[in-house]
């Protein structure tokens, strides 16, 4: 990458040990002579200009103003930052060390808890993730029946407040298991009767929550003294109001076809907006999803088939099947907190879908604009268009290919420190072997 | 039956009178009987249509069409009845005690070989009665509990069971506790090792006792052990050993054990024998008739939860006995595994409808078990000199509709369902106060019922009660009788009944009735069940092979890009010639002398060696025997699960060879097995035989984690000591054998060292005959283990995971260990906090042979993309990166002479890719092993269509089939997608411990 300075700027090339959040964009930056993957407007051999954190121009040729930092990409690629539609990133450091986990609050009904307040901007996982171009993540709580509210975070910032792009992004429900199992994981078995009882209890609980929340919402909106005097406040029910009113989406985590169908019918009955998360079986019920305009966040393309007899590539081709059936979808990695460290492989998930039938441009869209649309942040991110956030990165090739590397990222125009714990240790031990004369 | 003489037979007194003193007075009722006018099934396939059986003092005296009936015999006319030899129930479990505090007890409570079922048989009279009602007169009783469960026996099922034999066979079960159980073994792995060690111990014990008896001076006495003593003599006496099995794979495992110890093998079967009929041993088998009930497929979504093999099993299980019989196996049938024993006859009838020959069925209940149990001259036939065990039925036993009227055991009659004293059921004409009614009486299992009608009015009878010849019933017939509830009571005699009727108003009158006709029960036969028209595929269920994989002699791939993973690097537009499963030639434009080769157009395609995964748990039915800190005795080869679809899915990702490893629960785990994914093969044929033996070690968090039952070690300090201790013990062990083997006098007169499977494996490591693959993460522990290895004179084959290998790469290189690592896993546990994706590249650059492994059934399907990560992280050359999943793991497993690269003379294990093998957009198109195609997109399409149609047909068949009353089959659920890694398994254990 050749860099021309129209004004004097001190740039650091070597990543620091502690990754320092970038300062606000202080001058316009023009990336020229690149392959610009706009997503919304095809691929352009040309330039992109951004200023004050926003993209101001995308085109084949853009003339720089004075004071613009011009970077000649020499044919390198520019992409909008990849978007993780669900992830536990920032809420977990070491999965097996309990005290580093902040994703699962106690209890079954936690609509009031919010992800961003527990998001650790100094998590070591974050820099390793953005090193692969994932710059925005919808961070979700995980436990119980109603897990809490998710927040859309940028993968850079001094505090969680700096890093929050949007909050709340939605409420998360883990749909109860609808089937029964002879044996669960590791051969443990729960009597069928108990399984059915538990399911019915959970389904009833969900309906009860909605009923109570609606009643609470009515109470809170009634502007009479008697109503105000009559009732005390309730943190949980208060947080449910925008959801029962259909103002914000409810993310229903559901993989099995019966769960998905039950969730869709429930959403109609309750008149709420839902997004299916997981969606492994979504391909079995595409008509219902399309007819009811329920989007799917398809988790884990690289997963085993759900059932022994299913096609070996069933999970790989899931996105292609949804695409062909006209279901709105995007691709995510496993959203469980334990898988947060694997979020950096989000582009591989999209590529795998492309290898098994999803058109390449749709694969790319599935982790950029499609994700932004489902999360409701497509006015800000997801494509390279003027007016949107300058949240983008430069790579040395097709960013869905594993062998490609991200060279530089910008989040709202702020230059991202591309160092991470892994590069740091890599350099440290390269030095060891240089000292031992094993490496030149 | 018509009993001419009414007897009050006190069976009890007769049986106990043999040795016990007489209580009160002697009782000697006559025991001479002649059963006449019956169809006598004297032996399988041999029937006397109208004959007689004479019994005397519990034995059959004569049988024939017209034999002389001794004067003292009482004749019982059995006109219209059938007589069979008493049936033998070949499997009846007897539970045994758990704790044995005897000084002669084995150290492990699973060893109870000395127990005898006949000492512990305290049957519930109800259960015995139920068996008799099915026609069983004798039972093979089998102790249950533990692994070596003790001796079975043979008893007569009379009021007080009489022992015919106290010792038939030793019963063995693959029993184990699960995670967290308080005693070894806790897995199938451990159970099999326990069985093998048990036989070795028995041999050692027997020999030691002989030596001690011969040379009592100077030999230290050994601890007495009743079980080992029993096993020793049983093995020497060629007594049978029966293995309880739960599917066809367990039968194969039993066969392996029997071969190793030259056992007289019997099998307690399971109903899945038909799936691998050609692989079943020619041993005596005891086969249950518990067929799966109808899967619940009415709800289409619920139907999804059944695997195709389950649906097939529903259809094919009732054919099992017929198939075994057709294939010439010797087997007995048992009701033992049935949830409801009364289903036995129905299931037997179903087996017969589906092709089981009646004579074979009869043999399976009589002569075959009689012979196996050493009673062929006493049991199983209706013949002179045989014990007077008989079954009396009112029709063909095997049609499932006839009734067992009685059984005779030791010449004593046990009524099952005797003919009633009077005929009641049928159409009667009843007269009462000038009214003439039609009375209809019928019998159901619940008792009698019926209705009474006049003109077009009809009323149900209430509370019909028949006692002996007395009948009472009531009827609410207000409208006709005008008198409320009316009660009838009376007596029946030979088609006539009469008595009194009590009206609601208190008046009474006489009634009488005449039996017009004995109504014949009409049973709706429905459609006769026929055998399934499905064929078994291998393994059965989805993706199973219809036939053996074709083996073309010559294969030529033209104009492909060939990634040799050898010295020639990547060759563009080259041809590769395969002959007899080996790489014959790699060159440009190979022309063939003869034209009968299979030609594959490789234009635009890339060919790589078949990928190799040096860390896998697929196709392992059991992964961890974690109870003890050292379990070098357990072997993955014993627990191969050839039905695991993970193998097919991995083939679809270009994988051809795996290293099936024990888990990471203990510092020294079990022995691994290297397998080729020859999908469709049975267990032993999956093993890659030339691969050297190996073993799994493990370090760090997984092994030091605190166990609820308390297990050393709990620190990395202790881990080191455990491993050193194991090697020290092995060195001592070897020393004692060396001394013993060299000294002729010792060999004659001293107690030999005890062969220990665990220490054998440890010795093999020190002798360089067993490769060590150690689960490891942190640099300290990696370094530590290289030092131990050097102290004990061997070289580590691989460190597995080895995520901090990059910190001590120079040590790994210097030691000569390979590194089999994850490409980019980290942060899932504390010891991987410093794991980096540059690990592979850094170690490679420092001269270490590095491979990427999966440790996951899912990841194993895309190892080529794992290799691509070595290009991404640290910039390894692409051909070098591919080697991480081809020649490098082959080198680590010491199989690089055969596989891992495409070079002349090597196995033709290769994968054909749609494009660049490291590209994310590339897919695997074909996978070949030894010149045989085990996966192709085309073949996969065929499977998909075949299996989709099969599922649909089966579901239709299930929906239109009658319900046989068996408990509905439960869906397998997610079986097949099991634990994905050591770490997933460990995480689970941790939860379990909370």
- Each residue of B69-110: pLDDT tens digit? 999 899 999 999 999 999 999 999 998 876 778 899 999 999
Q: Which band of pLDDT confidence, cut at 50, 70 and 90, is reported for residue B967?
A: confident
8 Å CB contact of B838 and A345: no
8 Å CB contact of B921 and A360: yes
Question: Stretch A244-273: mean pLDDT, rounded?
Answer: 97
A151 to chain B nearest CA, in Å?
Answer: 22
Give the pair of three-digit tokens for residue A160. Answer: 């969680």
Q: Would you call B597 exposed, middle or buried from its count of C-beta atoms within 10 A (0-12, 13-18, 19+)?
A: middle
Model pLDDT for residues B733-781, shown as the tens digit of each residue:
999 999 999 999 999 999 999 999 999 999 999 999 999 999 999 999 9
Q: Which fold has domain A1-81+382-440?
A: Urease, subunit C; domain 1 (2.30.40)
Separation of alpha carbons B983 and B978, rounded Å = 13
Looking at domain B552-609+901-937, its CATH superfamily turns out to be Urease, subunit C, domain 1 (2.30.40.10)
B972 to chain A nearest CA, in Å?
Answer: 6
Question: What secondary structure letter does DSSP report for B833?
Answer: T
pLDDT above 80 (res A17) = no
In chain B, what percentage of residues exceed pLDDT 90?
A: 79
Q: What is the pLDDT of residue B991?
A: 31
Task: Name every chain B residue with its beta carbon within 8 A of the beta carbon of A93.
Answer: 827
Radius of gyration from C-alpha coordinates of chain A:
23
Could you tell me the sign of the dihedral formed by the alpha carbons of A118, A119, A125, A127, in that order?
negative
8 Å CB contact of A338 and B828: yes
Task: Name every chain B residue with its beta carbon within 8 A of the beta carbon of A352.
Answer: 862, 920
To the nearest whole number, what is the mean pLDDT of chain B?
92
Instruction: Answer whether B244's CB lies under 8 Å from B147's CB.
Output: no
Q: What is the pLDDT of residue B505?
A: 81
Q: What is the pLDDT of residue A13?
A: 42
Which chain B residue has the Cα nearest residue A178? B302
- The helix-helix angle for B248-261 and B188-214 (nearest 10°) equals 20
- For residue B576, which of B564, B565, B567 has the smallest C-alpha distance? B564
Q: What is the pLDDT of residue B970?
A: 84
Separation of alpha carbons B125 and B111, rounded Å = 30
Higher pLDDT, residue B10 or B88 = B88
Q: Which fold has domain B426-517?
A: Lipocalin (2.40.128)
Question: For tokens 């443990």, what's the residue?
Answer: A188
Least confident stretch, A300-314, B156-170, B437-451: B437-451
Higher pLDDT, residue B458 or B49 = B49
pLDDT above 70 (res B44) = yes
Question: Stretch B807-835: mean pLDDT, rounded?
Answer: 97
Question: For tokens 């992280």, what's the residue?
Answer: B873
State the ipTM, two decimals.
0.95
Give the pair of three-digit tokens for residue B625. Answer: 């025997």
Q: What is the pLDDT of residue B7?
A: 40
CATH class for the region spanning A85-375:
alpha beta
- For residue B443, which of B410, B420, B469 has the smallest C-alpha distance? B420
The C-alpha angle B194, B200, B202, rounded to 5 degrees, equals 100
Task: Name every chain A residue with its beta carbon within 8 A of the beta carbon of B861.
Answer: 312
Q: What is the pLDDT of residue B984?
A: 44
Higher pLDDT, residue B101 or B415 = B415
Query: Where do the CATH 2.30.40.10 domains begin and end in chain B?
Result: 552-609+901-937
pLDDT above 50 (res A367) = yes
Q: What is the pLDDT of residue B464?
A: 87
Model pLDDT for residues A105-151, shown as the tens digit of each residue:
999 999 999 999 999 999 999 999 999 999 999 999 999 999 999 99
Instruction: Answer whether B97's CB lies under 8 Å from B132's CB.
Output: no
Instruction: Answer whether B320's CB lies under 8 Å from B271's CB.
Output: yes
Q: What is the pLDDT of residue B525?
A: 55
Domain layout of chain A by residue ranges: 1-81+382-440, 85-375
Q: Which band of pLDDT confidence, cut at 50, 70 and 90, is reported for residue B10?
A: very low
Q: What is the pLDDT of residue B6?
A: 37
> Closest partner residue to A405 among B701, B824, B872, by Cβ?
B872
8 Å CB contact of B828 and A181: no
Separation of alpha carbons B555 and B678, rounded Å = 18
| CA-to-CA dists, residue A248 to A245, A379, B590, angstroms | 8, 16, 66
Q: What is the pLDDT of residue B994?
A: 23
Q: Which band of pLDDT confidence, cut at 50, 70 and 90, is reported for residue B117?
A: very high
Q: Which helix (H) or strand (E) holds A257?
A: helix A257-270
Model pLDDT for residues B382-411, shown as the tens digit of each residue:
999 999 999 999 999 998 889 999 999 999
| CA-to-CA dists, residue B28 to A54, B371, B415, B811, angstroms | 112, 33, 20, 91
Q: What is the pLDDT of residue B481?
A: 63
Q: Which band of pLDDT confidence, cut at 50, 70 and 90, is reported for residue B452?
A: confident
A41 to chain B nearest CA, in Å?
Answer: 23
Question: Stretch B212-230: mean pLDDT, rounded?
Answer: 94
8 Å CB contact of A422 and B838: yes
Question: For tokens 């350099």, what's the residue?
Answer: A427
Most confident region among B177-181, B357-361, B475-479 by mean pLDDT: B357-361
> Closest partner residue to B988 among A186, A354, A405, by Cβ?
A186
Q: What is the pLDDT of residue B3?
A: 43
Q: Which band of pLDDT confidence, cut at 50, 70 and 90, is reported for residue A405?
A: very high
pLDDT above 70 (res A6) = no
Q: Which residues pair with B468 in a beta bridge?
A: none
Question: Stretch B128-145: mean pLDDT, rounded?
Answer: 97
Task: Name every chain B residue with its beta carbon within 8 A of the beta carbon of A428.
Answer: none
Separation of alpha carbons B376 and B367, rounded Å = 7
Question: What secondary structure letter does DSSP report for B36?
Answer: E
DSSP string, B48-115: EEEEEEEEETTEEEEEESSPPPPTTPEEEE-TT-EEEEPEEEEEEEEE--S----TT--SSTTB-TT-
> Closest partner residue to A304 among B179, B857, B923, by Cβ?
B857
Which chain B residue has the Cα nearest residue A438? B846
Task: Name every chain B residue with its beta carbon within 8 A of the beta carbon of A183.
Answer: 972-975
Q: Which helix (H) or strand (E) holds B762?
A: helix B757-766
Query: Where do the CATH 2.40.128.120 domains begin and end in chain B?
Result: 426-517
Going through A204-308 in order, the beta strands assigned E by DSSP cover: 250-254, 274-278, 296-299
- For residue B513, which of B439, B422, B462 has the smallest C-alpha distance? B439
The C-alpha angle B484, B486, B490, rounded to 5 degrees, equals 175
8 Å CB contact of B827 and A404: no
Phi-psi group of B45: left, alpha or beta (phi > 0 → left; psi -120 to 50 → alpha; rest → beta): left
Q: Which band of pLDDT confidence, cut at 50, 70 and 90, is reported for residue B993?
A: very low
Least confident stretch, A299-313, A330-344, B862-876: A330-344
CA atoms within 13 A on the CB side of A271: 5
- For residue B854, which of B831, B876, B821, B830 has the smallest C-alpha distance? B821
Q: Which residues pair with A173 in a beta bridge?
A: A146, A252
8 Å CB contact of B178 and A96: no
pLDDT above 50 (res B575) = yes
Q: Which band of pLDDT confidence, cut at 50, 70 and 90, is reported for residue A187?
A: low
Question: Stretch B24-53: mean pLDDT, rounded?
Answer: 93
8 Å CB contact of B824 and A344: yes
């Amino acid at each position: 990458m050749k860099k021309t300075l129209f004004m004097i700027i001190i740039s650091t090339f070597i990543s620091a040990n502690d990754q320092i959040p970038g300062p606000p964009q202080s001058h316009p930056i023009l990336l020229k002579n690149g392959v610009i993957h706009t997503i919304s407007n095809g691929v352009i051999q040309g330039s992109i200009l951004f200023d004050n954190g926003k993209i101001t121009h995308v085109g084949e040729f853009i003339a720089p103003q004075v004071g613009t930092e011009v970077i000649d990409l020499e044919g390198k690629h520019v992409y909008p930052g990849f978007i993780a539609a669900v992830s536990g990133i920032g809420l977990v450091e070491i999965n097996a060390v309990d005290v580093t986990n902040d994703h699962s609050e106690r209890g079954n009904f936690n609509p009031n808890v919010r992800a961003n307040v527990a998001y650790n901007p100094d998590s070591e996982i974050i820099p390793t993730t953005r090193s692969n171009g994932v710059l925005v993540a919808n961070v979700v709580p995980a436990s119980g029946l109603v897990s809490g509210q998710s927040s859309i975070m940028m993968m850079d910032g001094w505090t969680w407040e700096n890093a929050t792009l949007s909050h709340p992004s939605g409420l998360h429900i883990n749909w109860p298991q609808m089937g029964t199992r002879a044996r669960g994981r590791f051969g443990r078995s729960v009597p069928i009767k108990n399984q059915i009882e538990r399911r019915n209890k959970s389904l009833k609980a969900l309906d009860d929550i909605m009923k109570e929340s609606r009643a609470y919402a009515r109470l809170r909106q009634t502007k009479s003294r008697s109503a105000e005097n009559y009732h005390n406040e309730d943190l949980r029910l208060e947080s449910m109001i925008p959801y029962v009113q259909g103002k914000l989406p409810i993310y229903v985590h559901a993989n099995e076809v019966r769960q998905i169908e039950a969730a869709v019918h429930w959403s109609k009955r309750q008149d709420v907006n839902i997004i299916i998360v997981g969606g492994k079986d979504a391909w079995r019920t595409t008509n219902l999803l399309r007819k009811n305009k329920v989007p799917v966040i398809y988790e884990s393309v690289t997963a085993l088939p759900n059932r022994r007899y299913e096609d070996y590539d069933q999970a790989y081709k899931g996105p292609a099947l949804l695409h062909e059936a006209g279901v709105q979808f995007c691709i995510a990695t496993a959203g469980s907190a334990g898988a947060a460290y694997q979020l950096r492989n989000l582009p591989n998930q999209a590529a795998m879908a492309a290898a098994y039938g999803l058109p390449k441009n749709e694969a790319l869209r599935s982790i950029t604009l499609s994700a932004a649309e489902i999360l409701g942040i497509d006015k800000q991110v997801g494509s390279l268009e003027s007016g949107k956030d300058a949240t983008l990165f430069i790579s040395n090739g097709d960013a869905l290919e594993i062998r490609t590397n991200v060279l530089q990222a910008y989040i709202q125009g702020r230059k991202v420190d591309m160092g991470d714990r892994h590069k740091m240790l890599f350099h440290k031990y390269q030095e060891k072997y240089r000292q031992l004369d094993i490496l030149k | 039956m018509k009993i001419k003489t009414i007897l009050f037979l006190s069976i009890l007194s007769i049986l106990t009178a043999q040795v016990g003193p007489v209580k009160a007075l002697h009782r000697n009722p006559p025991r001479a009987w002649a059963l006449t006018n019956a169809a006598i099934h004297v032996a399988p396939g041999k029937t006397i249509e109208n004959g007689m059986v004479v019994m005397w003092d519990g034995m059959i005296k004569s049988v024939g069409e017209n034999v002389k009936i001794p004067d003292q015999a009482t004749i019982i006319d059995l006109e219209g009845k059938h007589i069979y030899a008493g049936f033998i129930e070949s499997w009846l479990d007897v539970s045994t005690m758990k704790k044995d505090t005897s000084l002669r007890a084995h150290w492990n409570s699973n060893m109870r070989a000395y127990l005898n079922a006949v000492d512990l048989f305290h049957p519930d009279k109800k259960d015995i009665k139920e068996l008799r009602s099915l026609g069983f007169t004798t039972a093979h009783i089998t102790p249950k509990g533990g692994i070596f469960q003790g001796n079975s026996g043979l008893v007569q099922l009379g009021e007080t069971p009489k022992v015919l034999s106290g010792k038939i066979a030793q019963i063995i079960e693959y029993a184990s506790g699960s995670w967290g159980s308080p005693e070894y073994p806790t897995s199938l792995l451990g159970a099999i090792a326990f069985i093998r060690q048990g036989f070795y111990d028995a041999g050692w014990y027997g020999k030691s006792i002989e030596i001690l008896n011969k040379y009592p001076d100077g030999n230290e006495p050994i601890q007495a052990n009743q079980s080992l003593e029993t096993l020793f003599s049983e093995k020497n006496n060629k007594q049978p050993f029966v293995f309880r099995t739960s599917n066809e794979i367990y039968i194969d495992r039993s066969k392996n054990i029997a071969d190793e110890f030259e056992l007289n093998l019997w099998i307690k079967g399971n109903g899945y024998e038909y799936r691998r009929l050609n692989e079943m041993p020619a041993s005596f088998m005891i086969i249950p008739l518990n067929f799966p009930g109808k899967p619940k497929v009415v709800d289409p979504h619920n139907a999804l939860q059944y695997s195709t093999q389950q649906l097939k099993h529903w259809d094919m299980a009732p054919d099992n006995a017929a198939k075994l019989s057709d294939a010439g196996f010797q087997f007995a049938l048992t009701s033992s595994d049935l949830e409801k024993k009364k289903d036995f006859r129905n299931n037997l009838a179903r087996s017969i409808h589906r092709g089981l020959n009646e004579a074979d069925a009869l043999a399976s209940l009589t002569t075959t078990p009689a012979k196996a149990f050493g009673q062929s001259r006493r049991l199983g036939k209706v013949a002179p000199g045989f014990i007077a065990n008989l079954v009396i039925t009112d029709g063909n036993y095997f049609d499932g509709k006839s009734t067992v009227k009685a059984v005779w055991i030791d010449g004593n009659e046990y009524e099952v369902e005797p003919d009633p004293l009077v005929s009641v059921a049928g159409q009667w004409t009843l007269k009462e106060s000038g009214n003439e009614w039609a009375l209809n009486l019928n019998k159901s299992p619940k008792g009698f019922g019926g209705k009474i009608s006049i003109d077009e009015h009809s009323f149900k009878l209430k509370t019909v009660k028949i006692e002996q010849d007395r009948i009472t019933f009531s009827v609410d017939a207000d409208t006709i009788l005008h008198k409320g509830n009316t009660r009838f009571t009376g007596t029946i005699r030979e088609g006539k009944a009469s008595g009194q009727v009590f009206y609601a108003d208190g008046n009474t009158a006489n009634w009488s009735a005449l039996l017009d006709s004995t109504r014949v029960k009409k049973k709706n036969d429905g459609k006769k069940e026929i055998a399934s028209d499905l064929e078994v595929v291998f393994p059965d269920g989805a993706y199973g092979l219809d036939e053996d994989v074709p083996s073309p002699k010559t294969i030529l791939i033209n104009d492909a890009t060939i990634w040799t993973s050898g010295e020639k690097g990547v060759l563009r537009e080259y041809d590769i010639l395969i002959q007899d499963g080996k790489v014959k030639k790699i060159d440009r434009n190979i022309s063939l002398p003869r034209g009968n080769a299979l030609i594959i157009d490789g234009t635009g395609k890339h060919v790589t060696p078949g990928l190799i995964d040096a860390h896998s748990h697929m196709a392992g039915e059991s992964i961890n025997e974690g109870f003890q800190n050292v379990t070098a005795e357990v072997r993955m080869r014993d627990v191969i699960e050839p039905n695991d679809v993970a193998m097919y899915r991995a083939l679809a990702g270009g994988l051809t060879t795996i290293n099936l490893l024990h888990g990471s629960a203990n510092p020294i785990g079990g022995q691994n097995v290297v397998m080729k994914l020859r999908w469709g093969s049975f267990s032993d044929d999956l093993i890659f035989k030339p691969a050297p033996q190996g073993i799994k070690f493990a370090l760090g968090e997984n092994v030091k984690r605190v166990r609820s039952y308390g297990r050393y070690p709990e620190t990395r300090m202790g881990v080191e000591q455990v491993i050193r201790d194991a090697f020290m013990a092995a060195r001592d062990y070897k020393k004692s054998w060396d001394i013993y083997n060299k000294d002729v006098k010792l060999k004659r007169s001293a107690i030999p060292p005890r062969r220990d499977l665990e220490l054998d494996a440890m010795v093999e490591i020190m002798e360089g005959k067993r490769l060590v693959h150690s689960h490891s993460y942190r640099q300290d522990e990696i370094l530590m283990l290289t030092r131990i290895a050097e102290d004990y004179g061997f070289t580590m084959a691989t460190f597995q995971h080895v995520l901090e290998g990059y910190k001590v790469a120079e040590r790994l290189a210097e030691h000569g260990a390979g590194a089999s690592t994850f490409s980019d896993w980290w942060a899932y546990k504390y010891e991987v906090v410093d794991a980096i994706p540059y690990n592979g590249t850094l170690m490679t650059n420092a001269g270490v042979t590095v491979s990427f492994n999966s440790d996951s059934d899912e990841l194993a399907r895309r190892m080529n993309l794992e290799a691509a990560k070595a290009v991404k992280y640290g910039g390894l050359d692409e051909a070098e990166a591919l080697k991480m999943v081809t020649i490098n793991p082959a080198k680590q497993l010491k199989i690089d002479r055969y596989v891992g690269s495409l070079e002349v003379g090597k196995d033709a294990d290769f994968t054909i890719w749609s494009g660049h093998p490291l590209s994310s957009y590339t897919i695997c198109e074909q996978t070949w092993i030894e010149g045989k195609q085990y996966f192709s997109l085309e073949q996969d399409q065929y499977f998909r269509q075949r299996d989709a149609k099969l599922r649909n047909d089966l579901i239709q068949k299930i929906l239109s089939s009658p319900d046989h009353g068996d408990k509905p089959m439960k869906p397998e659920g997610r079986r097949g997608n099991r634990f994905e890694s050591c770490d997933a398994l460990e995480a689970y254990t941790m939860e379990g411990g909370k």
